[in-house]
């Protein structure tokens, strides 16, 4: 016999208080309008809708300027961006790559597409992302440092990269994480898919590792329909990223010569056109998402067992997905709360299943995951579209 959770009515009341009155309210919706119509028409009129065109160049330049990265290379999606970034970072077949167990499946899929094995590690309570202290202690146990990445003394494989992921837009505590990575000479590649607009100590996420990647999928803060970006400060890596994502074709007026096995991953101009328009709206999205986050935080301030997940210290989050934690909740209580909120028309969602628990990743190496295991039963993403703030408060 289980008792109905007192959390469901409390959460429903807070959602009704913060959000506009229409139902259903989805988890996250893109905001598109006249600006997007105009650039898409211009793109169609130009005749260049495919993998070359002025909007690709413009989107890359504005994204590089916005993030402070020296180079930005637009590609078809975030998963492809991560696969390419890992390969450029030197990840080779047979290597292991450290990833958080608490992430979207694309993080681990990209590791496998790059020929390597994901090696799962735990999250920190404060950031929901990779825990530098736990990683340090774990590597001290299992890793032997070498000149180019550590060796896993259990599996014998090289640990070639560490991939911190900025969960729901909240930056990982990067300073201690980079110290750990340096100590083992392991390359850092940031999965910043969710953190366009998020900064750590004043610097944009995705620009701390050797390479970083972003996603512009339809549900992300900035969308190109589908799309991704690779950023790096290394000119040689940037040139290689460009070459390898455009079939390694040698520049020539009319000849088709290719000099390596490569990908066809470049972002089409029509998607980049959307990106150019969305870049102009991004500052406004960030302001309204922060206001929505503030309203949620206030609404849960007095709740006993519900806490709003605020941006970590030293960070400014984009609040891509506003998130609450149900303290001491079990999986069944979480399900009950999600059933009640979704029945009432609020598009609330649980965290992902831990990647380490998915059928295809069950046999992969992993650190102890006590924090990630408790977080997955306790996190709920709340409706987070920027439009919700203007709709509720204009």
Q: Which is nearer to ligand PLP, 228 or 386 (CB)?
A: 228
Q: Which is nearer to ligand PLP, 107 or 187 (CB)?
A: 107
Report, in Å, the least distance between residue 182 CB and ligand PLP: 24
Q: Which is nearer to ligand PLP, 7 or 80 (CB)?
A: 80
Pair of tokens at residue 351: 């965290």
Pair of tokens at residue 187: 């390359």
- Residue whose C-alpha is closest to residue 194's, from 226, 167, 156: 167
Q: Which is nearer to ligand PLP, 53 or 78 (CB)?
A: 78
Report, in Å, the least distance between residue 81 CB and ligand PLP: 7
Report, in Å, the least distance between residue 103 CB and ligand PLP: 5
The helix/strand/coil state of 204 is: strand
The DSSP annotation for 221-274 comes to SS--SS-EEEEES-HHHHHHHHHHHBTTBPP-SS---B-S---B-BPPHHHHHH
Report, in Å, the least distance between residue 164 CB and ligand PLP: 10
- Output DSSP code: residue 304: S
The DSSP annotation for 51-98 comes to S-SHHHHHHHHHHHHHHT-SEEEEES-HHHHHHHHHHHTT--TT-EEE
Query: Would you say 160 and 209 are in contact if contact means Cβ atoms under 8 Å apart?
Result: no
Q: Which is nearer to ligand PLP, 5 or 278 (CB)?
A: 278
Report, in Å, the least distance between residue 166 CB and ligand PLP: 8
Phi (first) and psi of residue 275, to 5 degrees: -60, -40
Report, in Å, the least distance between residue 77 CB and ligand PLP: 4
Q: Which is nearer to ligand PLP, 76 or 295 (CB)?
A: 76
Residue ranges binding ligand PLP (CB under 6 A):
77-79, 103-104, 106-107, 165, 191, 193-194, 215, 217, 228
CA 304 from centre of chain: 30
Q: Which is nearer to ligand PLP, 222 or 277 (CB)?
A: 222
Task: Give the Cα-Cα-Cα angle 104, 112, 366 (nearest 5 degrees).
Answer: 70
Report, in Å, the least distance between residue 265 CB and ligand PLP: 11
């Amino acid at each position: 016999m289980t008792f109905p959770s007192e959390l469901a009515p409390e959460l429903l009341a807070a959602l009704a208080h913060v959000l506009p009155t229409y139902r259903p309210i989805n988890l996250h919706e893109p905001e598109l309008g006249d600006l997007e119509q105009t650039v898409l028409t211009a793109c169609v009129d130009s005749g260049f809708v495919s993998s070359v065109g002025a909007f690709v160049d413009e989107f890359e330049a504005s994204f590089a300027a916005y993030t402070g990265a020296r180079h930005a290379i637009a590609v078809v999606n975030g998963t492809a961006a991560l696969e390419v970034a890992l390969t450029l970072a030197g990840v080779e077949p047979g290597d292991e790559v450290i990833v958080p167990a608490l992430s979207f499946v694309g993080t681990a899929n990209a590791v496998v597409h790059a020929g390597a094995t994901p090696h799962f590690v735990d999250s920190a309570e404060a950031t929901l992302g990779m825990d530098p202290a736990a990683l340090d202690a774990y590597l001290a146990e299992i890793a032997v440092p070498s000149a180019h990445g550590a060796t896993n003394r259990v599996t014998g494989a090289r640990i070639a990269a560490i991939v911190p992921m900025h969960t729901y837009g909240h930056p990982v505590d990067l300073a201690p994480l980079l110290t750990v990575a340096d100590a083992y000479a392991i390359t850092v590649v940031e999965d910043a898919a969710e953190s366009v607009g998020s900064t750590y100590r004043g610097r944009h996420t995705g620009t701390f590792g050797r390479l970083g990647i972003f996603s512009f999928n339809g549900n992300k803060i900035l969308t190109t329909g589908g799309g991704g970006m690779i950023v790096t400060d290394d000119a040689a890596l940037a040139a290689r990223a460009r070459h390898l994502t455009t079939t390694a074709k040698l520049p020539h007026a009319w000849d088709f010569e290719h000099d390596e096995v490569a990908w066809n991953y470049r972002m089409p101009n029509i998607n980049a056109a959307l990106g150019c328009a969305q870049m102009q709206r991004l500052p406004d999205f960030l302001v309204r998402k922060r206001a929505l986050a503030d309203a949620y935080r206030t609404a849960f301030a007095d709740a006993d067992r519900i806490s709003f997940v605020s941006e970590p210290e030293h960070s400014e989050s984009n609040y891509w997905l506003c998130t609450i934690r149900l303290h001491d909740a079990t999986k069944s209580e979480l399900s009950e709360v999600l059933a009640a909120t979704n029945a009432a028309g609020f598009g609330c969602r649980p965290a992902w299943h831990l990647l380490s628990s998915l059928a295809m990743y069950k046999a992969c190496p992993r650190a102890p995951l006590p924090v990630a295991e408790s977080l997955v039963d306790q996190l709920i993403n709340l409706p987070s579209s920027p439009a919700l703030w203007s709709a509720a408060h204009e």
